[in-house]
Amino acid sequence: MIALVKTNTENEFQIEHRPLPQLEIDEVLIKVDFCGICGSDLHAASHANGYEFVPKPIILGHELVGPIVKLHPDNNKKELLNVRVVVEPALYCNNCEHCLNGQYNICSNIKCLGLHYDGGMAEFVKVKMDKIHRIPESLPSGVAVLTEPLTVAIHAVQAVGKVTDNMNVLVQGCGIIGIFVALAAKNQGAKVTISGLKKDWESRLKYAEQLGIETEIFEEHSNEKKYFDMIFECSGSSIAAEKGIYRLKKGGKLVLVALYEQEVKFPVNIMVRGEINILTSYACSSSDYQKAFSILDKYKNKIQNIVTIYSLKDGPQAFSDARQQKVLKPILKTL
């Protein structure tokens, strides 16, 4: 099979021929139709701090969709063949304190497809059978590939933020997670604004407006005195995280969804006097996948506009464009 392989060199990729993965009895082989490039893929490719655990060389990719094309000879679940699925990428130990408490997304020994071991930026990938989610017939594969990042947003909005009808919500950052957080909050009935920089408008922020979400340009609203019940910080900017506190109502909540390479310094006295709470959100739960299918199906005609398709062989260019924020959501197509 053909694979896009991340080498030992920063931001370097090679197209290689690899043997088909050999299946264990609890695994299935998926023919990858599409695989998204995630922020964590970009961090792994650039050898960012916090991603030292990623082995090299490696096939990245955990946002994938495709049909199951092969089972282990001793696996009798033949009904799974040719079924289109997306993959829940995290493997949990099921033994740590968090797993035993049902907090699988923060498992102490979590391993992720495409970061700890070879992932979906290839023609084929093997995954555990209990990590697949069947795609509704009405959902095109080119939209279904967005399921996993949408689950991250749903977890932040529903499980962590507990967003309710008519809540005033600001989303900081208009990458794919920010836009999906805004969409998930809108779907909960909240009044949502998403903020980005001037330079983000053409390649990112305008797509939020096309989804019916109110937008603001940060440079034009930096001194605005509109206050929000909740802010979802999805930009990864330490400055944005710090300044977000000043746009919250007293008793408001700041939900950190992004990861930060720079130290974040919060105005603690203001937070204490205003009983402002900081919450954090990481990954998702298995139940979020069905919720994601529902939202994707509802908005599928508009959501198709936010992706940019590249061939697998053009993967290096897709990563370059993503790093330079020329596109909102690059997707690799292996067909």
Q: Which of 17, 43, 47, 203 is catalytic?
A: 43
Q: What is the DSSP letter of 203?
A: I
Q: What are phi and psi of 215, to 5 degrees?
A: -120, 155
In angstroms, the CA 64 to CA 42 distance is: 16
Asked about 116 being catalytic, the answer comes back as no
Catalytic residue among 17, 40, 237, 238: 40
197, burial (CB in 10 Å: exposed 0-12, middle 13-18, buried 19+): middle
* Phi/psi of residue 238, nearest 5 degrees: -65, -35
**Is there a catalytic annotation at residue 281?**
no
DSSP-derived secondary structure for 100-153: HTT-GGG-TT-EEBTTTB--SSBSEEEEEGGGEEEPPTTS-HHHHTTHHHHHHH
3-state secondary structure at position 264:
coil
What is the spatial distance between Cα 166 and Cα 164, in angstroms, rounded to a whole number?
A: 6
Residue 28's closest CA among 71, 86, 66, 88? 71
Annotated catalytic residues are 40, 43
